[in-house]
Amino acid sequence: MSRCGRFLRHCAALVAMVLCAMQAYGGDLGKAEMAARFPPPLQVGDKLADIPAWPITSELEPDAGPVAYAFESIDLAPIPGFEGTPFNLLIAIDRKGSYLGVEVLRQHEPVFLSGLGEGPLNDFVRQYAGKSLLQQISVASIYGSAKRSSDDKRVVLDGVSKATASIRIVNQTVLTAALAVARARLAFAAPTQHGPPAVVRADVYEALDFAALVKGGYVGRLSLRNDEIEALFADSDGAGQDAEGLAAPAEIGVDFYVGYLNAPTIGRALLGEGMYDYLMRNLQPGQQAYWVATAGRLALVDERFVRGTPPQRLALTQDQAPYEARDLDLELVAPAGAPRFNSLLAVQIPPMSGLDPGQVAQFGLTLARSRGAILPLVTERTVSLDYAPPAALLRYPPKPLPEWLLAWQDRARDLAIIGVALALLAVVLARPRWVAVSARRLRIFRLSFLAFTLVFIGWYGQGQLSVVQITGAIKSLNAGQGLGSFLYDPISLLLIAFTALSFFVWGRGTFCGWLCPFGALQEFVALAGQRLGVRARRLPARLAQVLDRGRYLILAALVGAALWAPRLAEQLVEIEPFKTAITVGFDRSWPFVAYALTLLVLSAVYYKFFCRFLCPLGAAITLGGRLRLPAWLKRRAECGQPCQTCRHRCAYDAIEPTGTINYDNCFQCLDCVGIYHDDQRCAPLILYRRKGRSVVDGRLARKPV
C-alpha cells in the first residue's frame, strides 16, 4: 500500500474513533435491528416521540395496542460505570411492567472487558426476565454481612464476585430506565416523598358497627348543612336556586362518607364477610378499593350513572396528583345502623397508580346547581373530604435504599475493619517512634499490615485503587456526568478519602507504602526473592532519575487519552497489572498474567521497579503528595554530612546524598525513623554514646554522664 493510502487509512480510523466517541452516549439500535430481536408475531413500531422507547405490538392481539416496550438504557439512564462510560443495555418490559429480558449492548467496565469477560455480566442480566417492576430488585451481597432474601415483593439477584460496584450500577441502570418508560407509558406512579405505599395489616381486625366506624375515623364523614351549601354558591349563578335547602337551612343537605375497603376492620363491616372476601380475591396486588356513599338530599350519582365507570361527581387526589376512581359494579347493601344512603358505591383505583392508603387523600364531591329551564346555566362547587384510615390498620414499608447506599450497607463490616486499620496506621504514622525504634517490632507490624492490605483490602475487599478511577472521573466529567458512580464502591471511596487527607500530612508514601495491594505484593515477592538468594540490584542513580519520568509520561498519556480518545484509554490502562494480579487474582489470559508476573519478578531484582518507573497511579499520588505540609521525617545535622547510614539503608532511594528526604520517592517504610531513634544503628548516636553522652529517645541528654 502506498504512503498516501496508508495515510488515508489512518485518517479514516481516526475519524471513526472520533465519531465513536461522539456517539458514545447515544442509542445503538435502529428499527431493523430491533425488529430482528422481536420477530413475528411481534412487530416493532416507530420509536416514540415522547420517550425513547420502541412500542411492540402483537399480530395475535391486533387491537390491544403495545404489548411491550423495548428501549436502550443509554437513552434513559446513562449512569457512568466504574470506568466512566455508561452501560448500554437493551431492556424490554411488557405492559404489566414485567421484564421480558435485558441484553448488554455496550459496556466498558475494565473487569468485564478482559478480566472476567462478559460472560458473568450476561448471566447477571438474564436474571431480570420474568421479574416485575412492582418488585424491589436488589443485588445479593457477596460479602455475607447483609443478608436479603426474595419474596413476592422483593427479588434478590445473584451478584458477580469481583465486580460488585459495576453490577450495582447495572441494576440501578435497569431500574431507572425501566421505571422511566413505565411512568410514561404504563401509568406507573411517579416517586413520592413518602416511600412505598402502606400495605394492609391482614392480622388486624375488630368487629365494629357503623357508628363506631365513623366515630373512630375508620370511615370518613363530611356533613354539610343546607345553609353551608348555599354559602358555597354565593355570588354565583347557582345562588338561591335550591328552594328546598333555603326552606330548611339548618338541616343536613349532604352527608358524604368514605371508607378504605382493603382493611378487614372496615371492609368486613361495610361489605359483609362474603362480599369482602370476593373483593379481596379480585383486586390485583397493590390495588386499593374505597367505599363511597352519600345521604341527605344531594347524591353522588343519579339514575344516569353507568355502572363500571368513574362517577363524574367524585374526584380523588393525593399530593395534588389526580387518581381515577372507577365503580367496581358491586351490589352493595348499607351496613346495619347506617343512615339511608342515596348513593352507595365501591370504587377501585388502578393497581400501579401509586396511591398510598396510608397518606391522606382528598375525596372531592361535586355539587351542581342549574339555572334556567331551556339552556340551563350549570354552576358546580366541589367539597373535599380528607381521609386516611387509622394508621394501626396499615404497615408502612421502609423507603427502599438507593443502590449505592445498599452497597455501603453490605460492606459496613468491611468498612469498619478497614476504618480501624486506617486509624491504627494514622496513629503509627503520627507517632512512629514506638513501632520503628525496634527493627523487629517494625518488621512485624509492617509485614502484618501489608498482608492485611494485600489479602483483605485487595483480594477480598476489591479495594485496589487504580488509575482507571482517574481516567473514569475525567471521562465522566468530560461527558457532563457527575462522579456519583464512586458511591457504588465504598471501600475504594474510603481509601481515596484517607489517601487524599494523607497527602496533606504525610505525602505520597501513605498509600504507596501501606495501602496499595499490588505494592504490598511486590514487597512480599522481593522478600521471597531475598530468601531464595536473589541478589537485589540498584539502577545507577542517573539512570533511575531518567526512568523516574516514565510514570509521569504514562500518566499524561492516559489523561490525554481519557479526554480525547476514550477507547484508547481503555487499552492504555492495561499498563497497570492491578486487574490481573489483584482484581481477578491472575485468572486471566496468559499475556496479561505473563506481564504481571514479569513485573513481580523484576521487583525482586530491582526493588519496586513498577512503582518507581511505570506506575501512573503512583505518579498521580506523588503529585498529590506534594500538598504535604510538614517535613515530618526527622533529620539530624549530621545526616548526609557525613553520615550516609539511612541513605544506604533506604531501599527506595528516597534519601538524597545531602541527607534530605525526597518525599516523592519515600514509601514511609519507617526504616530511617527506627535508625534515627536507635543508638545502636544511628552513627551520630553511636558516636555520642562512645563519647560517654547518654541518648534519651534519640536525643542527647542535657548533661554528659
Enumerate binding residues for ligand SF4 (CB under 6 A).
512, 516, 518-519, 610-611, 615, 617-618, 621, 633, 650, 652, 654-655, 661, 666-672
Query: Which of residues 411 and 551 has its CB atom nearest to ligand SF4 in the complex?
Result: 551
Alpha-carbon distance values, 393 to 150, 206, 208 (Å): 25, 10, 14
Residue type at position 419: G
Query: Which of residues 133 and 619 has its CB atom nearest to ligand SF4 in the complex?
Result: 619
Question: Grid coordinates in use for 126?
Answer: 438474564
Question: 276 and 267 in contact (C-beta within 8 Å)?
Answer: yes
Query: Which of residues 290 and 514 has its CB atom nearest to ligand SF4 in the complex?
Result: 514
Alpha-carbon distance values, 468 to 97, 476, 479, 558 (Å): 36, 12, 16, 9
Min. distance of Cβ 131 from ligand SF4 in angstroms? 40
Query: Which of residues 276 and 609 has its CB atom nearest to ligand SF4 in the complex?
Result: 609
Query: Which of residues 282 and 662 has its CB atom nearest to ligand SF4 in the complex?
Result: 662
Min. distance of Cβ 573 from ligand SF4 in angstroms? 13
Min. distance of Cβ 403 from ligand SF4 in angstroms? 29
Question: Grid coordinates in use for 247?
Answer: 326552606
Helices (H), 186-263: 210-215, 226-232, 243-247
φ, ψ for residue 125, nearest 5 deg: -70, -20
Q: Which of 606, 605, 619 is nearest to 576 (CA)?
A: 619
Min. distance of Cβ 587 from ligand SF4 in angstroms? 20
Spell out the long-range contacts of 649-652 with Cβ–Cβ below 8 A and sequence spacing 24 or more.
649/675, 651/536, 651/607, 651/608, 652/607, 652/608, 652/612
Buried b / exposed e along 225-239 (16+ C-beta atoms within 10 A): bbebbbebbeeeebe
Q: Three-state secondary structure along 558-593?
A: HHHHHHHCHHHHHHHHHHCCHHHHHHCCCCCCHHHH
Min. distance of Cβ 590 from ligand SF4 in angstroms? 22
Question: Grid coordinates in use for 688?
Answer: 555520642
**Which residue matches cell numbers 489470559?**
589
Alpha-carbon distance values, 603 to 159, 530, 532, 587, 647 (Å): 35, 11, 14, 21, 20
Query: Which of residues 469 and 668 has its CB atom nearest to ligand SF4 in the complex?
Result: 668
Query: Which of residues 481 and 668 has its CB atom nearest to ligand SF4 in the complex?
Result: 668
Min. distance of Cβ 608 from ligand SF4 in angstroms? 6
Question: Grid coordinates in use for 260?
Answer: 378504605
Query: Which of residues 86 and 674 has its CB atom nearest to ligand SF4 in the complex?
Result: 674
Query: Which of residues 77 and 494 has its CB atom nearest to ligand SF4 in the complex?
Result: 494
Min. distance of Cβ 698 from ligand SF4 in angstroms? 14
Count CA atoms within 13 Å of residue 424 on its CB side. Answer: 14
Please identify the residue of the shown chain whose CB is closest to the bound ligand SF4: 618
Query: Which of residues 408 and 667 has its CB atom nearest to ligand SF4 in the complex?
Result: 667
Min. distance of Cβ 95 from ligand SF4 in angstroms? 52
Query: Which of residues 134 and 496 has its CB atom nearest to ligand SF4 in the complex?
Result: 496
- Distance, CA of 52 to chain centre: 23
Query: Which of residues 211 and 451 has its CB atom nearest to ligand SF4 in the complex?
Result: 451
Query: Which of residues 347 and 661 has its CB atom nearest to ligand SF4 in the complex?
Result: 661
Helices (H), 68-137: 73-76, 110, 119-126
Min. distance of Cβ 647 from ligand SF4 in angstroms? 8
Min. distance of Cβ 672 from ligand SF4 in angstroms? 3
Min. distance of Cβ 1 from ligand SF4 in angstroms? 41
φ, ψ for residue 341, nearest 5 deg: -85, 145
Q: What sign results for the dihedral spanned by CA atoms 39, 40, 46, 49? A: negative
Question: 162 and 584 in contact (C-beta within 8 Å)?
Answer: yes
Min. distance of Cβ 601 from ligand SF4 in angstroms? 15
Q: Give the integer Cα–Cα distance in Å for 679 and 699.
A: 9
Min. distance of Cβ 426 from ligand SF4 in angstroms? 16
